[in-house]
């Protein structure tokens, strides 16, 4: 018998942590009775409702997607812009992206209905690495790399000041253009573009090539592939290790 929070997470609506909040807020009922006990266990025949709606476990699915430029990473857009769901197969319309890539960026997106995994990979306290190849207009120096590592103050979309950090490793450098491998452990919107702008550079190309230990290998732009069970287990083991290190 699963605990109530794990059962809710298995429905794909949220993570276990968020499920705990729903339970303590009195928004969860089992067989018509509100349950606020976090240690409550669910039996196979029980009917669980969240905010009045019956929820059931679903088969967890995991995909790798090579996002092309020109699409935003959301299901709906009030401005009518194209989203990744315009090019994804209709049967994946209930899959959610693990993190985001802005409209002009390309590269790896993990898609899943596993709310627990999404929380583990995107929660600020977990520090899951994301790797990018970035092309900028100018010569990138060791001093620039040091500044990015030590932190640059940027503004968030809500005009909040935050210190953004990144590891940067030059791949190709010339006076007109540089290609840099950038590794992030944060998740600030448009973080890389804002950091390079503070250094006086414009980002010309930004591609995510890896998230945790999942890569773009074998994918073409716009292509989506199911993640095999072995790879999913490797990812879960990888995340478990990081969670223990951060505990």
> What is the predicted pLDDT for the residue at 79?
82
- Joined tokens for residue 67: 């996002």
Mean pLDDT (whole number) for 157-185: 96
Environment class of 86 (CB within 10 Å of its CB; exposed 0-12, middle 13-18, buried 19+): exposed
Whole-angstrom Cα distance, residue 48 to residue 212? 33
pLDDT digits (tens, 9 = 90+) for 110-156: 999 988 899 889 988 888 999 999 999 999 999 999 999 999 999 99
φ and ψ at 150, to 5 degrees? -80, -20
- Joined tokens for residue 71: 């699409």
Q: Which residues have C-beta within 8 Å of that of residue 171, sequence separation ≥ 6?
A: 133, 179, 180, 181
Q: Which residue spans of the chain are classified as CATH 3.30.70.1560?
A: 130-211
Whole-angstrom Cα distance, residue 229 to residue 235? 10
Q: Which residues have C-beta within 8 Å of that of residue 78, sequence separation ≥ 6?
A: none
Pick the CATH number of 4-55 from 3.40.50.620, 3.10.290.10, 1.10.10.10, 3.40.30.10: 3.10.290.10
> What is the predicted pLDDT for the residue at 218?
96
**Fold held by 62-125+213-246:** Alpha-Beta Plaits (3.30.70)
Whole-angstrom Cα distance, residue 121 to residue 181? 20
- Joined tokens for residue 33: 């009775």
> What is the predicted pLDDT for the residue at 14?
83
Q: Which residue spans of the chain are classified as CATH 3.10.290.10?
A: 4-55
Whole-angstrom Cα distance, residue 140 to residue 120? 33
**Cβ-based neighbour number of residue 124 at 10 Å:** 9
pLDDT digits (tens, 9 = 90+) for 41-88: 999 899 999 999 999 988 899 999 999 999 999 887 788 889 999 999
**Cβ-based neighbour number of residue 52 at 10 Å:** 7
Q: What is the pTM of this model?
A: 0.85
Indicate the average pLDDT of the chain. 94
Point out the residues that are catalytic.
102
Q: Which residue spans of the chain are classified as CATH 3.30.70.580?
A: 62-125+213-246
The residue written with tokens 């790798």 in the block is 64
Environment class of 182 (CB within 10 Å of its CB; exposed 0-12, middle 13-18, buried 19+): buried
Q: Quote the CATH superfamily of domain 130-211.
A: Alpha-L RNA-binding motif (3.30.70.1560)
pLDDT digits (tens, 9 = 90+) for 197-244: 999 999 999 999 999 999 999 999 999 999 999 999 999 999 999 888
Q: How far is CA 51 from the centre of its chain?
A: 26
């Amino acid at each position: 018998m699963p605990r109530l929070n794990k059962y809710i997470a298995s429905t794909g609506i949220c993570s276990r942590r968020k499920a705990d909040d729903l339970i303590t807020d009195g928004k969860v009922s089992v067989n018509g009775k509100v349950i606020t006990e976090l240690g409550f266990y669910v039996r196979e025949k029980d009917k669980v409702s969240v905010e009045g709606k019956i929820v059931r476990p679903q088969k967890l699915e995991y995909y790798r997607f090579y996002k092309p430029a020109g699409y935003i990473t959301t299901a709906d857009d009030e401005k009518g812009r194209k989203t990744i769901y315009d090019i994804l197969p209709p049967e994946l319309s209930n899959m959610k992206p693990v993190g985001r890539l802005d409209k002009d960026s390309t590269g790896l997106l993990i898609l899943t209905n596993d709310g627990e995994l999404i929380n583990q990979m995107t929660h600020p306290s977990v520090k899951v690495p994301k790797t990018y190849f970035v092309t900028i207009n100018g010569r990138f120096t060791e001093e620039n790399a040091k500044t990015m590592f030590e932190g640059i103050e940027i503004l968030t979309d809500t005009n909040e000041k935050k210190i953004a950090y990144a590891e940067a490793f030059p791949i190709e450098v010339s006076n007109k253009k540089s290609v840099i491998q950038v590794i992030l452990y944060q998740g600030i919107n448009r973080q890389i573009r804002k950091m390079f702008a503070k250094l006086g550079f414009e980002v010309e190309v930004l591609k995510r090539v890896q998230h945790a230990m999942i890569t773009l290998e074998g994918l073409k732009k716009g292509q989506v592939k199911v993640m095999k069970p072995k790879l999913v287990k490797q990812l879960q083991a990888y995340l478990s290790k990081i969670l223990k290190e951060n505990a």
